[in-house]
Amino acid sequence: MNTKTVLAFIDSINAHDVPGILGYLADDHVFIDAQDTEHKGKQRMGENWSEYFVLFPDYTIEVEDVLERDELVAVFGYASATYKGLTENRTNFWRLPAAWKSIVEGGKIKLWQVYADYALILDIIEKNK
């Protein structure tokens, strides 16, 4: 059951559907990014996702494997995007192995944590300033 919630949440992310994303989040949602920074609260995440999709308008999560144990759902796969849609220079595209940890309570995502090596993405952003 929790896996279905997480996969539907990922579908909303891949569709860049911010209201849909927010529909899956608990009010006290916590997002921990790949740099280990915590972002708290459902409303803040709506703003953060909107800003992220401006930076990476084709952001996509590719799911390869999912493991579920009680409220914990772990997703393994790839994340990819093109920085600001700058497709004329292929070096603005990135695709990285990634993992996501989710805690689902009452059908809502209480925690979403990303594990990935973010260095390449930071290099691309810096190069395009």
For the chain, give the DSSP string. -HHHHHHHHHHHHHTT-HHHHHHTEEEEEEEE-TT--EEE-HHHHHHHHHHHHHH-TT-EEEEEEEEEETTEEEEEEEEEEEGGG-TTSGGGEEEEEEEEEEEEETTEEEEEEEE---HHHHHHHHHT-
> What would you measure as the largest C-alpha separation in the chain, in angstroms?
45
pLDDT value for 42:
94
Domains identified in the chain, total number: 1
Q: How would you classify residue 117: left for phi > 0, otherwise alpha for psi between -120 and 50, otherwise beta?
A: beta
CA distances from 31 to 34, 105, 128 (A): 10, 15, 26
pLDDT value for 86:
76
CATH code of the domain in which 32 resides: 3.10.450.50
For residue 54, give both structure tokens.
Answer: 């401006």
pLDDT value for 129:
80
Burial class (CB in 10 A: 0-12, 13-18, 19+), 58: middle
pLDDT value for 89:
64
For residue 116, give both structure tokens.
Answer: 């990935």
Q: Which domain holds residue 53?
A: 2-127
One pLDDT digit (tens) per residue for the chain, 129 residues = 899 999 999 999 999 999 999 999 999 999 999 999 999 999 999 999 999 999 999 999 999 999 999 999 999 999 999 999 776 667 789 999 999 999 999 999 999 999 999 899 999 988 888
